[in-house]
Structure 1
Amino acid sequence: MTSKKSTGKLEVDVQKLRDEGSWKKLIELTEGGKVGINDQLANFLLGEAKLEQYLEEHTPYDAANQTHAESKTGLQEAKQYLTLPAGIEGSRTTGSMDAQLLLAKLHFACGEYNESLQFLSEAGLDQLTEKPLPVRSLKIIAESFAVQALALEKIPPGSTHGKNNDSRDQQILRSMEIAGDIALLYLQEQDKLQGQSNWSIATTGSNSPLPPLTEQRIGMLLETALLRAPLIHIKAQRWNEAIARYRTVLRAMESSATQTLRLTFARQLAEVLLRKVCQANYWAVGSKGPNSHWKSKYYSGSSLFSPRDVNEEVFLLLLLSEAMAVRDAVLSQSPEFRELRKASMRNATVVYDLLIVCCIQHGQTAMVCESLERALKFSFEDAHIWTQFSYSLIAAGKFNKAVLVLKEVARLCPQNPLPCLMAAKVCLEHLNLVDDGFNLASEATKRAEAQDSNVASRACLIKGIASFIKWRQSRIQPLKQNWMSVCLKSLRDATEHDPNDHLVHFYLALTHSFCRQVTQALTEVRMALRLRGEHLPSLLLLSLLLSTPAASPSSQMSSSSISSIDDEEESHVNQCQGALSLAEATLEEYPNNFDLLYIKTLLEERCFGGEVALGTAKHMLALWKQLYEDSSSAGANVTSENNPNNVSHSYSNYDTRSLAMSAVSAQHISEANERESSIYAQSVAAARAEQALSDVTSSMCSSLPKPGPAWQVQLKIWLLTGELYVRLGKCEEALACAQEAAILSPASHHVMHLRGLIHETKNEFADAKTYFKNATSLSPFHIPSLQHLGLCVHYLGSHRLAEKTLRETVRLDPVAENSW
């Protein structure tokens, strides 16, 4: 009786050692004769233990011939032990099938794939029926199916076990899926035996660079089977089957051994859903798992979250992947953990790139910023993550922080000009840091020219734009001339680097226009349109240039060839009509563009009189009401899906942020924002001889080049309409327009200027002087208000003060001909 109890206890101990994979102890127990079992079973245990112990210490799968030869030598003893219970040289026992399955695994490790398939066939692997099995048996069967699939892949189709292509591929796929299902079940049962609780996701990295030892239990065979099954479906373009397979693995109850693999599965499923699934062909995740002895267990309960559409599932997968990537991150910077740190960083980088793509598509910039900020904890001097973080900050509107991060990226990549370019763009376009923008653009130019980079042209362009802003800011003539020289040199250098860049020619034309060099400006803007005929800012600039007297042929002749002043005026009117025809043709392509309509209104006033222009101004009001009245009450932006090219403008013509910027991306120079960033072309209206067109257009176009609220566009329209009424002598109507504009922006210097014009037209010079002084108080560099203030003071008899005011106007803008 005691002997039976002792034998039963020993059998339990043996089974426990097999389940735990304690092969060294099992060998000692069996070789020591402490196990009271028959010789056949002892041989099986010794062969099994020696085989598994060798495979844990070596990785012979899919290796070179030399490694296979070493495996044959190292596994010779295990093969001898397993051959006896397998029934090859002895009688069959209850362990015969397990021995044959292990021999198949042994031959596969030695590179003998046909022999491996032969043993699997003799063991009747494909004829096994599903039933409850011990933990160790589950692993043996799972690995046997994995060996069968991998061995079939190794042998050519025409061999004994190769079969034809279709049946062979089906057999490979079936074996891998069965191996994966049983592997998941085995790992769940293994955790039960060890009393481990389900996994949890930590949100911070660990100082320990190594995963728990239990994660190594899955083995290379089972891991390969789990990973390869969905990839086979993807290779055959069976996307639905691949998605179903990924979901099967991810829905299974977690075990400690698959925690690392879940990151790979979640990421790959997210990639497939992003590439091949839309809302129309999406199907929800099933609520129930299959009921089978060889299927893994699934989570169940009413509190489980189930995605309702493809976007929810992708976000869920990527956020889980991010959490797992942060959990697995290696924080230690010790040299011995370099490879582990690189591997974890590669996994995290792929996840964050996918998360960025998905979040940006749905406008979730805040989520991207938060995720990348968490990634910085384990991204020490990783330029890619820091670069992505800077771009996300720009997208989220956090420009000050974005510049700091971009400067750090520039430090990490001392040869790369793009971080400096992006930082310069943000400084100039959003932060009014002109000096910083110029210095960063200069550094970008130096780096680009040193490497002969393809972004050298845009680096010079941004440097030229920064110099142009400094020219506009400067009030001392020698300093202004110096900045203009730097600007022109930078822009010409940009044309040398890339003569086919239409934006460079556009900004050259814009610069010449501000310098009243109309002929050169026309040459450059026509070149820009030859390079890109649909470039809207160039079309706007050409319309304005054609409307100037200097653009007419008669103005370019000598004085002796001019027959009369009437001929010159007629030629100028013809030029304005040509500009109006161009504006109308452009409006056919962009019918809802308020900037084009604004120019058309002023050109119609010049060609056909104020009444015709008023009709277009009223059309602008009706169009604004149609497009933006509903959204303006909610504070919506001006730009809409129907009018992507329309931008609104602020009203400070001395704001240094007013100059448009060309967009510079991380990989190439993007032109997606050119229509917005280049709309500043309208400010060339200062080149017009006509005072009203020059004054109003220039003041309205110096703006921050980004969409603004709808009331700013409405304000612009009311001011335009009011000035048209003033020039027609209809002061009551003009006052009504000024009152409407004052409701929208009571502190606008443009409103004060309009009120001053109304009183000046009515010869109420004292009141006009008050309004013009108010306008200059709000905007000390508003040239039209200073000009009219000087006139009103002159009309009131203060001639010295009038002269002083006008001299100050000339000092601020020497090329404003009306001041002279």
Structure 2
Amino acid sequence: MTSRSKNAVRSYETEIEKCREESNWKKAVELATQLKARSPQHESLAHFLIGEGKLEAHLEEWPPIRDNIERAQRELSDARGYLTLATDEAGKKAGVALDAHLLLGKLNYACGAYDDALKNYKLAELNTLTEKELPIRSLRIVAESYAIKGLCLEETAPGGGGASSRFKAAEREADMVRSFELASDLTLLYLQKTAAPAVRAGPTLEAALQRAPHLHLKAGRPQAAIDRYRSMLRATECQWTQALRLTLARQLAELLMRGTNGQEYKIPSVSTAGGRQAAPGPWTPAKYTSINQFVPQNVYEEIVLLLLVSEAMAVRAAVLSQSAEFEVERGSSLRAARAVGDLLALAAARWGHLQLVLESLERAMKFSFGCGHTWRQRALATAAAAAATPPSTQQAGSPAWTAGTKAVSVMRHAKTLATDDAPLRLVGANTCYNMGELEEGIALAEEALAIEQKTNGPLLARCHLYTGIGYQMKAQRTNSRIEKEASNEKSLQNLLKAVQLDNNDHLAFYHLALHYLRQAMLNEAMDAARCCLHARAECAGGLRVAAALWACGAAGARGGRALAAAAVARHHYPAAPWPLTAAAMLQLQWGEPDAALASARELLALLNSSTESEMEQNGYTELDALSDSQPEDVQSNRDAVSLRAESVGVYRVERALSEAAQSGAPCSKLLAGRRAQAWLLCAELCLRLGRITAAAGCVAEAAALTPYSHLVLYTRGLVHEASAEWEEARACFRDAVAIHPTHLDSLVHLGTAYYETGWIRLAESVLRSALALQPLRGDTWRRLSLVLSARGEHAAAADAAAAAVCAQPAAVYSHWGL
């Protein structure tokens, strides 16, 4: 009978231990009650087990947080009684008194009795526990005891002053840090060793894992906090530590991104042990060790590595099911992934790794259905990628076209999830403008304007600016006088409102100056250009407009100021070709032909030594790709009045022909076009100096680069015109117009060629077509006056001459790309 009784007790103990490891507390209490009734000599053990089961069952349902203190005080009286019974002499003899004191500390913490909890830990001699191998359940009890001790010390921090109080506070802080560090190590060790099917660290142990680094930071020891995070992350991963590693990796990345108060970055050491002990012990979790282990060499590598690992874990843990029963889990995983994605976006944008953000957001799409924040991030990232793509071509299938189309499509979906997001719509408007989708861009800008007007938001001025820019570009696209005037009126209203709301926005003043310049309101344009340069002295657009205005005869003889503006632009944008182009034309205009040729040679040398990536930094990126002087217009920038979207078909024809002729050319199409433009500038300089043969040679060099450009044909026509070869000139101008029907210079000179060859009616028709495109151009009216006089219409010729006197000189548009 005695043997059977001992076997039965041993069987109970085995079953109870299994239930404890699996956290099956209801069955553990039942078995402990049976053990007490069956074996009175194990009464103290049974009391401990019953008290433990009741305590843990309650805390599983009601975690030990402040909101649950009153409930714990009411419902844990039975557990307190059983655990107290286990601390008597019989309990000490049975070896359960120490564990009972540890659990009483946990119970008092749940009830808000922090001083009583610390007394129980003192009775258990927690500070002097020897590190030794412990069973799984005991590991958790000891880990929670150290964690709760640290939390209780925080809750009962003493006040007062004096040296003694400060010494006690420092001693208390050191005790807290040591407790949290031991708790975190034991927690990781427990999770590595446990074999339970659904184990969780719980709120207490999770808090302990994060408290030690926070205390180091609070005490001004950022490097100690970093080392502690690294030590925990080096612990060997298991199934139960994945969520913890995600949190710790994200927090370490945040700490490294915020900086370390000026301290130098220290490369992680594979021997780092978190500052507690270097040699592994029975309470130290297993850690990764390998001679091939990757070690970041700078803070950037470590941050990106942490965030990529965190993002991989967040994506792997994401809940894909849209069922209502998984709503809580889905929300939690989505929040974790969003937090990591936002940090990755900050880090990657800071160091120019936009592709990392795009790839991360692409992966996030599989679990971000209906998530406005993720879609907004993706829309912004794709728009940034489209803006960063070299604008060498806008043909369907080209990288720039593909990136822009993708950005617009993502933005269309994102805006439906963010109904009151004005910045997102402004970014979308910018992308649409760059793609030539003016109507959609204006609609987006007006949506943003309506949103900001409802709340008088901080982006109201910028919304008016983008709306004005859209109508400004729309006016440049259309050939209808009524539509052009209506668009110009709306553009002016919005631009004036933008500068009224924000008188320090150089972009608003720049586009206002551009508008006035196109309307021949030169004094108003000069005032706006001055305001632009006052707001930002190095604004490329403002410098260019100011130089054009100072060079214009109607604005006064101020060639020195125009040259100074070109010199300032050259200083701020040394890789941009336009300051040298402007300087060459100004030097020629103000009687310095040798200096003009020197500037042209310098321009050619710059372009021949430049790469495409350098050419992208042309001094206009600050204009948010919204000015009419963008790289995409370089092949037609002599007359941007008729440029922009109306001549997209022309560009496609030119580029298709040029690509066929340049297959195998050593430089890109963008560089080829700019080098050809420089040669054409040299040709025009030579024509101004009377060197017709040299001009023909320059045109031949440009033709070798872009053989089917309308500008090459136009300049070749100028060479024939200078030699009085009117038939050849007429053929060249006619071919240029065939490629680019709205190129004003070609139309005007074609009209002159018709006049010189006796085709008077055709000359009048062509010149009137040019005036329909730009009625404010003076030299067109002057030539029309000659044609009408030749036809005997003297009254009409006089009216045309008067219009020529009042109209805007052609020099305002020529060579400036405005």
Taking structure 2 as the reference length, what is the TM-score of the superposition?
A: 0.82
Closer, same or farther: CA 173–815 of 1 in aligned 2, 3 Å = same
Q: CA deviation at 1:382?
A: 2.4
Distance 1:163 1:237, change over 3 A: closer
2:568 and 2:374 mapped to 1: Cα distance? 47
Separation in 1, partners of 2:319, 2:10: 46
Distance 2:259 2:424 in 1: 34
Superposed displacement of residue 372, structure 1 = 1.3
What is the RMSD computed on CA atoms of the aligned residues?
A: 3.2
Distance 1:88 1:490 in 2: 88
CA contact (8 A) 2:476 2:644 kept: no
Aligned to 1:603: 586
Offset at 1:42?
A: 2.0
Contact persistence 1:577–1:603 (CA under 8 A): no
Instruction: Give the structure 1 partner of residue 674 of structure 2.
Output: 713
How far apart, in 1, do the equivalents of 2:115 and 2:165 lie? 7
Task: Give CA-to-partner distance per residue, 1:562-607, whole Å, 9 cap, x none.
Answer: xxxxxxxxxxxx3333423443355455555432222121111111
**Which residue of structure 2 lines up, in the alignment, with residue 367 of structure 1?**
356
The percentage of aligned residue pairs carrying the same residue is: 36
AA paired with 1:26?
A: A
Structure 2 counterpart of 1:350: 339
Q: Distance in 1 between matches of 2:453 and 2:756?
A: 58
After alignment, is 89-98 or 604-613 more displaced? Answer: 89-98
Seen in structure 2, the aligned counterparts of structure 1 residues 682 and 489 have a Cα distance that, compared at 3 Å, is: farther
Give 1:141 shift: 1.2
Aligned partner (choices 516, 540, 543) of residue 536 of structure 1: 540
**Structure 1 residues 220 and 590: alpha-carbon distance in aligned structure 2, compared to 1, 3 A threshold:** closer
Q: CA deviation at 1:790?
A: 2.2
Q: Name the residue aligned to 2:66.
A: 63
Judge conservation of contact 2:639–2:745 (CA < 8 Å) in 1: no
* Paired residue type of 2:358: C
Alpha-carbon distance change, 91 to 720 in structure 1, aligned in 2, over 3 angstroms: closer
1:401 aligns with one of 401, 406, 413: 406
Within the candidate set 354, 362, 377, 1:388 is matched to: 377
Say whether the 8 Å CA contact 2:246–2:314 is kept in structure 1.
yes
Q: CA deviation at 1:724?
A: 0.2
User: Does the 8 Å contact 1:29/1:35 carry over to 2?
Assistant: no
2:460 maps to 1:460: no
How many residues align? The count is 730
2:189 matches 1:182: no
Distance in structure 1 (CA, Å) of the matches to 2:13 and 2:247: 39
Q: Which residue of 2 aligns with 1:414?
A: 419
Comparing 279-288 with 229-238, which one deviates more in the overlay? 279-288
Corresponding residue number in structure 1 for 2:152:
151
Shift of 1:392: 1.0
For the residues of structure 2 that align with 1:161 and 1:41, how far apart are their CA atoms?
42
Counterpart residue identity of residue 78, structure 2? E
- Superposed counterparts of 1:258-297, under 5 Å: 258-276=241-259, 281-286=265-270, 290-297=279-286
- Please say if 1:475 is aligned against 2:492: no
Residue 568 of structure 1 corresponds to none
1:580 to 523, 538, 563: 563
2:493 pairs, out of 489, 492, 506, with 489
Distance, in Å, in 1 between the alignment partners of 2:77 and 2:211 is 30
Q: Cα 1:48–1:448, aligned 2, differ >3 Å: closer, same or farther?
A: closer
Aligned-residue offset at 1:341: 3.9
Give the Cα separation in 1 of the matches to 2:631 and 2:292. 59
Deviates more, 1:278-287 or 1:413-422: 278-287
Alignment match, 1:122: 123
Q: Cα deviation per residue 1:27-66 (whole Å; 9 max; x = unaligned)?
A: 111212376452222222222222222222322x3415xx
Q: State the Cα deviation string for residues 77-99 of structure 1 (Å, max 9, x = none).
A: 22222223323687644222122
**Residues 670-721 of structure 1: CA deviation (Å, up to 9, x unaligned):** xx72386447399999xxxxxxxxx97436996799x994444333322111
Of 45, 51, 55, the match for 2:55 = 51
Q: Alignment partner of 1:329: what SS?
A: coil
Identify if the C-alpha distance between structure 1 residues 576 and 351 changes in structure 2 by more than 3 Å, giving closer, same or farther. same
Distance (Å, rounded) in 1 between the aligned partners of 2:48 and 2:94: 10
Hey, what does 2:750 align to over in structure 1? Answer: 789
Distance 2:778 2:720 in 1: 24
Q: Which residue of 2 aligns with 1:203?
A: none
Counterpart amino acid of residue 422 in structure 1: V
Deviations 1:430-450 (A, max 9, x none): x11122222222333333223
Kept in 2: contact 1:776–1:782 (CA 8 A): yes
Residue pair 2:566, 2:582 contacting (<8 A) in 1 also:
yes
8 A Cα contact 1:157 1:168, kept in partner: no
The answer to whether residue 108 in structure 2 is matched with residue 107 in structure 1 is yes
Q: Does 1:224 align with 2:165?
A: no
**What is the alpha-carbon distance in structure 2 between the residues aligned to residue 337 and residue 412 of structure 1?**
22
Deviations 1:471-491 (A, max 9, x none): 222223233222222222222
709-718 vs 134-143, greater mean Cα deviation: 709-718
2:809 corresponds to: none
Tell me the secondary structure at the aligned position of residue 369 of structure 2: coil
Distance 1:163 1:503, change over 3 A: closer
Alpha-carbon distance, 1:409 to partner: 2.9
Instruction: Say whether the 8 Å CA contact 1:617–1:720 is kept in structure 2.
Output: yes
Partners in 2 of 1:314 and 1:708 — Cα distance?
A: 39
Worse overlay, 368-377 or 171-180 = 368-377
Partner of 2:299: 310
**d(CA) in 2 for partners of 1:320 and 1:395?**
24
Among 11, 21, 24, the residue aligned to 1:22: 24
The residue number in structure 2 matching 1:689 is none
1:308 deviates by 4.6
1:240 CA drift (Å): 2.0
For residue 176 of structure 1, report the CA deviation from its aligned partner.
Answer: 0.6
Q: In the TM superposition, what is the alpha-carbon distance from 1:788 to its structure 2 partner?
A: 1.8
Q: Tell me if 1:757 matches 2:718.
A: yes
Amino acid at match of 1:24: K
Residues 1:682 and 1:156: Cα distance change in structure 2 (over 3 Å): closer
2: distance between equivalents of 1:170 and 1:257?
Answer: 29
| Residues 148-198 of structure 1: CA deviation (Å, up to 9, x unaligned) | 11111111326999971111101000001001111111122112xx4x7xx
Aligned equivalent of 1:646: 619
User: What CA distance in whole angstroms lies between the structure 2 residues aligned with 1:245 and 1:729?
Assistant: 78
| 1:86 alignment partner, SS class | coil
Name the CA shift for 1:296/1:69 in 2 (closer, same or farther; >3 Å): same
Paired AA for residue 252 in structure 1: A
Aligned to 1:558: none
Q: Which moved more, 1:271-280 or 1:97-106?
A: 271-280
What secondary structure does 1:454 align onto? Answer: coil
Q: Match for 1:234 among 210, 217, 230? A: 217
Match of 1:562 in 2: none
Counterpart in the other structure of 1:565: none
Distance (Å, rounded) in 1 between the aligned partners of 2:741 and 2:85: 103
Equivalent-residue separation in structure 2 for 1:696 and 1:408 (angstroms): 35
Amino acid across the alignment from 1:131: K
Contact 2:147 2:183 in 1 (8 A): yes
Aligned to 2:639: 698
Is the partner of 1:295 in helix, strand or coil? coil
Cα distance in 2 between the residues matched to 1:409 and 1:123:
59
> Which of the numbers 317, 339, 363 marks the counterpart of 1:328?
317
**Aligned residue type for 1:638:** M
- Give, in whole Å, the separation in 2 of the partners of 1:252 and 1:55: 28
**Distance change in 2, residues 1:144/1:701 (3 Å):** farther
Describe the superposition over 1:328-377 as per-residue Cα deviations: whole angstroms up to 9, x where unpaired: 33444455655544433322221110111222234333332232133233
How many angstroms apart in 2 are the aligned matches of 1:446 and 1:3? 85
Structure 2 runs not aligned, ≥5 long? 274-278, 387-402, 649-667, 782-818
- Among 706, 718, 726, the alignment partner of 1:745 is 706
User: 2:88 aligns to what SS in structure 1?
Assistant: coil
Distance between the aligned counterparts of 2:8 and 2:80, measured in 1? 30
> In 1, distance between residues paired with 2:22 and 2:165?
34
Report the counterpart of residue 690 of structure 1 in structure 2: none
| Cα distance in 1 between the residues matched to 2:88 and 2:357 | 62
Which residue identity lines up with residue 63 of structure 1 in the other structure? R
Shift of 1:286: 0.7
Flag the 1:142–1:478 CA change in 2: closer, same or farther, 3 A. Answer: closer
List per-residue Cα deviations over 1:99-148 (Å, max 9, x = no partner).
Answer: 22222222222222222222212222111221111111111111111121
Query: Structure 1: how far apart are the matches of 2:715 and 2:126?
Result: 93
What is the Cα deviation at residue 393 of structure 1? 0.8
Aligned residue type for 2:693: E
TM-superposed CA distance for 1:417, in Å, is 2.7
SS in 2 for 1:415: coil
